[in-house]
Structure 1
Amino acid sequence: MKLPLTGVIPPIVTPLLSDTELDIAGLEKLIEHLIAGGVHGVFLLGTTGEGPNLSYELRKAFVRKACQLVNKRIPVVVGITDTSITGSLEVAEVAYEAGADALVISTPYYVPMSQEEMVAYLRYLVPLLPLPFMLYNMPSCTKMHMSLNTVRKAKELGAIGIKDSSGDLAYLYSLIEEFKDSPEFSIIVGTELFIPETMINGGHGAVPGGANLFPQLFVDLYDASKKKDPKAIAAFREKIIQIEDKVYNVGHEGSKYIKSIKCALSIMGICNGFVAMPFRQFGPEQQKQLAANLQEMASKN
């Protein structure tokens, strides 16, 4: 894999038929939909991919099948974050054997970690990893916002970049500034509306969940941001605001983001909308609302 990792790297959903069975046909359609849309890589088993909610066997089966379907056409990075270090290493080994390019590590969740504990954890874990790794800063789910010092020490241990999903623009800018003299260390944003700010100020890419649905739109925004084209950026950003309003905001639960993307993919005929326990997919009323919203968006575009 060429460094730095750049471009639009969707955190793909895990298509499911049940809590124990992958939607293989849906996964193939999804991967072809993304590659046809011009994405530059895929991220497996992230937040959007419901990684923590899947059994180890299902995670491993998903990694193996996704890597087989991608077939080295674009880079594949695999999330291995877990409360169990043994579980993390099991998935890491499968990712390596399946031909993935890198691993993604966030803070083990449930009991909050200190910055010092995170660094100690990485010092233990990293020498055991079979692939390069990047960090994933996701404080809303992990209860720890990685400090610049923690990221700096992770880089010293071999980290090839960081995905920042904190939603903190000042922090994102501080990452770009801190590592501006390290051209092979990727600064990748998870907050979709921050893509222009990331690219214009020297970042490397984005991991947008909405690219599962509309990959070409996010690639176009990425390209316009690289070119610093304000008119094109404004037009594409307006469409992404529509996705926020018409897709992500259907439903009221904290899990609505995952449910809405899977439901929309089902309506689009790409993959099953099944959502893994402890959550469940949208009911008929929400599905109907989302279908109407997608139709409205299509008529405007």
Structure 2
Amino acid sequence: MTQLHGGVVPPVCTPLTSQRDLDVPSLERLTAHLLDAGVHGLFVTGSTGEVAYLPDQLRQRALEVVAGVAAGQVPVLAGIIDTTTPRVLEHARAAKALGADALVATAPFYAPTHPSEFPGHFRAIRAAVDLPLLAYDIPASVGSKLPVEVVVELAEDGTLAGLKDSSGDLDGLRAVLERTDRAVFHCYSGSETLADLGLFLGAHGLVPGIGNLDPHGYVRLYHAATRGDWDAARAEQLRLRKLFQLIHVGDGRMGRYSSAIGAFKEGLAALGVIANPVTSEPMIPLDDTERAAVRAHLAEAGLL
């Protein structure tokens, strides 16, 4: 099993055909595109991968394809995100069988689960499947934040191997970093625009959605941070922050998520990495004006 070491771990987009089946050749090209940039891991079926929209069979096939292309070069993390523990356990068992090196799970959602029940959820996953387990803190989607005390408790007893922090709460991330053993517990920042600050606080790695489009940029940022060149890290972050504004191309006509995923996929299509920018239903697709705006952002960032 490939070990977690931090670094840049992009949440891989899930290319779809016009019929919304998995576009396997495009996913193979995208995986190779990320590996060629020197990323340190791959996170399949996360939020950027449209995990909540994908039928189980498509989720599993996407993981199988990415794990096959990666072939042990870097760890492959599988999002096993679902509403409740029994459903998550099914995803966890399937992910291990398909070659995942680690699992990433949120707290339960939709079902009215109290934070006092979160530890039981994560312990059940860890007991069922012998793979490193990362907690995914994304309150915007789950509806509740993972309390620092819960994360620390589960880190101390060995249930959790790490945290993917997409909460936007830098002070909460600092608290987790201060209270866990850095040698065994890995924290990843899920912020595209505060990646340098997360690393400055001591995060082990980054999980940036726009890393699908510019993995080289985040790899440069990470390496600058690890050698203590914070001026270079900040300069790279400013460029990437500007590129990240492409997520707003559809603002006002659709939701932010539809705009962001549509922009990521349009960008990948413009770069020739995936065949087309189809998103899952019921997301609204970008129109021609918005697609042109994405390409303008790419050109300004020096990617086209």
TM-score where L is the length of structure 2: 0.92
CA distance in 2, matches of 1:281, 1:266: 14
Which position in structure 2 is the counterpart of 1:105? 105
| Aligned residue runs from structure 1 range 53-202, under 5 A | 53-155=53-155, 156-179=157-180, 181-202=181-202
Partners of 2:3 and 2:101 within 8 A in 1: no
Which position in structure 1 is the counterpart of 2:295? 291
Structure 2 residue 285 is matched with structure 1 residue 281:
yes
CA distance in 2, matches of 1:120, 1:93: 18
Q: CA distance change for structure 1 residues 125 and 233 in 2, over 3 Å: closer, same or farther?
A: closer
Deviant stretches of 4+, over 6 Å: none
CA distance in 2, matches of 1:185, 1:230: 24
CA distance in 2, matches of 1:104, 1:215: 21
Structure 2 residue 275 is matched with structure 1 residue 267:
no
Partners of 1:93 and 1:130 within 8 A in 2: no
Partners of 1:4 and 1:204 within 8 A in 2: no
**Helix, strand or coil: the match of 1:77?**
strand
Which position in structure 2 is the counterpart of 1:257? 260
Identity %: 32
CA distance in 2, matches of 1:56, 1:130: 21
Q: Report the alpha carbon displacement of residue 194 of structure 1 after superposing the two structures with TM.
A: 2.6
CA distance in 2, matches of 1:224, 1:92: 35
Partners of 1:42 and 1:77 within 8 A in 2: yes
**Helix, strand or coil: the match of 1:192?**
coil
CA distance in 1, matches of 2:95, 2:44: 10
**Helix, strand or coil: the match of 1:103?**
strand
CA distance in 2, matches of 1:69, 1:297: 28
Which position in structure 2 is the counterpart of 1:232? 232
Q: Which digits, 9 at most, give the CA deviation of each residue in 1:11-61, with x for residues without a partner?
A: 010111146411111111101110111100000111000001100111111
Unmatched runs of 5 consecutive residues or more in structure 1: none
**Helix, strand or coil: the match of 2:188?**
strand
Q: CA distance change for structure 1 residues 166 and 249 in 2, over 3 Å: closer, same or farther?
A: same
> Which amino acid in 2 is paired with 1:266?
A
More off after superposition, 9-18 vs 274-283: 274-283
CA distance in 1, matches of 2:266, 2:126: 37
Unmatched runs of 5 consecutive residues or more in structure 2: none
Partners of 2:81 and 2:105 within 8 A in 1: yes
> Which amino acid in 1 is paired with 2:35?
I
Partners of 1:263 and 1:281 within 8 A in 2: no
- CA-atom RMSD in angstroms: 1.9
Q: Report the alpha carbon displacement of residue 284 of structure 1 after superposing the two structures with TM.
A: 1.9
Report the number of matched residues: 298
